[in-house]
């Protein structure tokens, strides 16, 4: 069995890489909306980005207003923000160094080059003029690391822990985006004297880079049930909750084959998979979207903690 410290290093290396990419995607979505649908100075959308990312309270400890420059740099390069893109990339590289002997040369080089390029470009404040270029670099460099993993690594326990980190982080991110935006997804009958904001539909889909895929499958028919079905239950969508948990279950099954032990984390993951398999978008909305997502966020946190315990990440 792999040393727990190495397993934890792989898991967190890819959690941090996924986190950096998620923040970049969310920031790009909000920036696009602020540019094309700005109300007044667009500050409402910048606040929305921070709330969705779970960083609003930390931002307000340092800044007084939601201006574009402050939000962009807080999310991308703020050293005091442990979830900024630069902080996440540095944490990913630190974990990669710790488990370097478990990685192929291509994966290590991709991580190191990602860190060097982002460190250089984020050494200076990012403006709206060069924001697109910066966000594209973040997405591209993290994608190169993921591609190197897919193309050069054995499908063994090392690969499984790396992928578990990716899908735990991704599931948590998708659930939190949907939960923060859940008022947009409520059936129209639930609104009292209000209409749904189409701008927020775009934020939901762009935040998970799924706008084109959604429209390809659904045409121009954007509905609460359609988005819920797409991002919660559709196993074809790589950032849907059902897809993430399908993969989590598969990689925990791989670890059971490797080690000959069925862990509590595997039982928990498969229970969530079964709940998602049984769910329909109608039952989710009837029972309460917020309640469903809150329970799934809690389960994802419990699963991450149980993985740490089962495989002794800090042992």
Q: 49-58, 135-144, 266-275: which has the minimum mean pLDDT?
A: 49-58
Cβ-contact 168, 300 below 8 angstroms: yes
DSSP 229: I
Q: Cα–Cα distance between 56 and 83 in angstroms, integer?
A: 12
Half-sphere exposure for 274 (CA within 13 Å, toward CB): 6
Q: Which residues of 268-292 are buried (b: 16+ CB within 10 A; e: fewer)?
A: bbbebbeebeebebeebbeeebeeb
| Per-residue pLDDT reduced to its tens digit, 227-252 | 889 999 999 999 999 999 999 999 99
**Predicted confidence (pLDDT) at residue 41 exceeds the cutoff of 60:** no
| Per-residue pLDDT reduced to its tens digit, 273-284 | 999 999 999 999
Q: 9-23, 31-45, 224-238: which has the minimum mean pLDDT?
A: 31-45
Cβ-contact 63, 74 below 8 angstroms: yes
**Predicted confidence (pLDDT) at residue 191 exceeds the cutoff of 60:** no
Give percent above pLDDT 70 in the chain. 91
Half-sphere exposure for 233 (CA within 13 Å, toward CB): 19
**Predicted confidence (pLDDT) at residue 37 exceeds the cutoff of 80:** no
Give percent above pLDDT 90 in the chain. 68
Token representation of residue 263: 């862990």
| Per-residue pLDDT reduced to its tens digit, 126-179 | 998 999 999 999 999 999 999 999 999 999 999 999 999 999 999 999 999 888
Cβ-contact 21, 114 below 8 angstroms: no
Burial tier of 111 (Cβ tally within 10 Å: 0-12, 13-18, 19+): buried
Cβ-contact 294, 172 below 8 angstroms: no
Q: Cα–Cα distance between 214 and 187 in angstroms, integer?
A: 18
Beta strands (DSSP E) in the chain are none
Q: Cα–Cα distance between 85 and 17 in angstroms, integer?
A: 9
| Per-residue pLDDT reduced to its tens digit, 60-102 | 999 988 889 999 999 999 999 999 999 999 999 999 999 999 9
What is the reported pTM? 0.91
Helix (H, G, I), strand (E, B) or coil at 174: helix
Q: Cα–Cα distance between 72 and 280 in angstroms, integer?
A: 37
| Per-residue pLDDT reduced to its tens digit, 92-124 | 999 999 999 999 999 999 999 999 999 999 999
């Amino acid at each position: 069995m792999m040393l727990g410290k190495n397993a934890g290093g792989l898991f967190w290396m890819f959690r941090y890489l996924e986190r950096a990419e998620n923040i970049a995607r969310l920031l790009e979505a909000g920036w696009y909306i602020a540019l094309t649908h700005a109300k007044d100075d667009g500050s409402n959308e910048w606040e929305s980005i921070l709330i969705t990312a779970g960083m609003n309270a930390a931002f307000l400890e340092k800044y007084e207003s939601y201006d574009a420059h402050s939000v962009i740099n807080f999310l991308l390069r703020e050293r005091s923000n442990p979830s900024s893109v630069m902080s996440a990339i540095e944490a990913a590289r630190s974990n990669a160094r710790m488990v370097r002997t478990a990685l192929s040369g291509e994966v290590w080089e991709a991580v190191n080059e990602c860190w060097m390029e982002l460190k250089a470009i984020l050494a200076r404040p990012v403006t709206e003029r060069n924001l697109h270029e910066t966000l594209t670099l973040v997405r591209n460099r993290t994608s190169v690391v993921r591609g190197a993993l897919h193309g050069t690594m054995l499908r063994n326990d090392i690969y499984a822990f790396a992928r578990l980190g990716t899908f735990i982080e991704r599931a948590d991110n998708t659930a939190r985006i949907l939960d923060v935006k859940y008022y947009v997804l409520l059936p129209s009958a639930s609104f009292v004297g209000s209409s749904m904001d189409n701008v927020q539909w775009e934020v939901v889909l762009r935040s998970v880079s799924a706008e084109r895929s959604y429209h390809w499958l659904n045409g121009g028919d954007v509905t609460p049930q359609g988005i819920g079905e797409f991002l919660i239950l559709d196993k074809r969508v790589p950032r849907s909750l059902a897809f993430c948990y399908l993969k989590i279950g598969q990689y925990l099954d791989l670890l059971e084959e490797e080690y000959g032990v069925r862990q509590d984390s595997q039982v928990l993951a498969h229970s969530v998979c079964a709940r998602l398999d049984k769910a329909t978008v109608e039952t989710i909305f009837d029972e309460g979207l917020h309640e469903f997502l809150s329970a799934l966020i809690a389960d994802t946190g419990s699963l991450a903690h149980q993985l740490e315990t089962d495989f002794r990440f800090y042992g």
